[in-house]
Amino acid sequence: MKKNQTLYSILDLALVSQGQTIQQTYHNVLKIAEAAEENGYERYWLAEHHNAPNIGSSATSILIGYLAENTNTLRIGSGGIMLPNHSPLIIAEQFGTLASLYPNRIDLGLGRAPGTDRETAQAIRSDFMQAAHSFPAELEKLETYFKKENARSKVRATVAEGVDVPLYILGSSTDSAHLAAAKGLPYAFASHFATTHLFDALKIYREEFKPSEVLDKPYVMAGVNVIIADTDEEAQALATSLIKMIIGIFTGQRDFVQPPVVMDDDLQQVMQHPQLHQMLKYSFIGSKETVKAQVKDFLKQTNADELIAVCNIYDVNDKIKSYNSFANIMKELTAEKEAVAA
């Protein structure tokens, strides 16, 4: 990583658009990953969610393997695996296997939320709440399974021992900032939807950070929504799919990603609703020039080491075009920083 470079990555939910099959969705995810690799993206992360018709990333580790098998240099990982849903032993085995098949390319981002509703969380793991409260201890178990020294233990994840799988702590509040700092691990904040505690969490993480074997100084990743088109008006129209998706979350009526429509007065008014407006605070929607100014300001405010972009667009070609434009923005901002430094 260059001194003046801010890395850029993708966070995906394998969103299922109306009229598409799950299989088509997975093929589209690979198309996006291939384009990301060509455009200098650092990593492509998939988020674990369950019981949502519009989200295809439920079997996260399997989908990670599919992308890793069909790309060459792009880091592939989880953003994240919801650890309380799982036995740390099983996750160590899964990601140890992935990292052995695709060396130096697999990331393991970890969160403590269920990634679903209460009933489904209970169906996944009956003691979910206990596991969520024990997240630091569960993380400790997971780290142990990856250590060579665990070969002397009675319980082993043999395929994980000594295998290099970088761990990242995910957060949407201040809780995980304390943990990431104490463990000396990189910290990824979900500011693409959880905007309220962003700066408090980053302050805690940076102030409390303790150097570790894997990291000598804080490393911050921040999520942003990005929808870029040729004009501001076109981007606003593409963003209507995202707005409808969020309305579905608020009303409990989740549905497949809907085709875009013209941004009319009614949708503009919906966007000003305090809850939705707050949720979309770090959503950069517009032409390349418009979004570039917004991204530049966000980086100035957060001093993030890496941006991880979420692009909730109906059509895969529009999505790839948006991600390509975001990559160009990040390259231009790096070049501008280097020019100033020189």
In angstroms, the CA 27 to CA 176 distance is: 33
The type of residue at 85 is N
The reported pLDDT for the residue numbered 342 is 77
Give the distance from CA 23 to its chain's centroid: 22
In angstroms, the CA 186 to CA 266 distance is: 41
Q: Tell me 194's DSSP state.
A: -
The reported pLDDT for the residue numbered 329 is 98
The reported pLDDT for the residue numbered 237 is 96
The reported pLDDT for the residue numbered 183 is 98
> pLDDT digit of tens for each residue in the chain (342 aa)?
667 799 999 999 999 999 999 999 999 999 999 999 999 999 999 999 999 999 999 999 999 999 999 999 999 999 999 999 999 999 999 999 999 999 999 999 999 988 888 898 889 888 878 888 899 999 999 999 999 999 999 999 999 999 999 999 999 999 999 999 999 999 999 999 999 999 999 999 999 999 999 999 999 999 999 999 999 999 999 999 999 999 888 888 889 999 999 888 888 888 888 888 899 999 999 999 999 999 999 999 999 999 999 999 999 999 999 999 999 999 999 999 998 887
Is 73:39 a contact under the CB 8 Å cutoff?
no
In angstroms, the CA 41 to CA 60 distance is: 20
Is 78:64 a contact under the CB 8 Å cutoff?
yes
113 burial via Cβ count (<10 Å: 0-12, 13-18, 19+): buried
Angle at CA of residue 196, ends 193 and 197, nearest 5°:
105
Q: Domain spanning 7-341: which CATH class is it, in words?
A: alpha beta
The reported pLDDT for the residue numbered 2 is 64
pTM, two decimals, is: 0.96
Backbone angles phi, psi at 15, to 5 degrees: -65, 135
The reported pLDDT for the residue numbered 1 is 63
**Which conformational region is residue 249 in: left (phi greater than 0), alpha (psi within -120 to 50 degrees), or beta?**
alpha
The type of residue at 64 is I
The reported pLDDT for the residue numbered 125 is 85
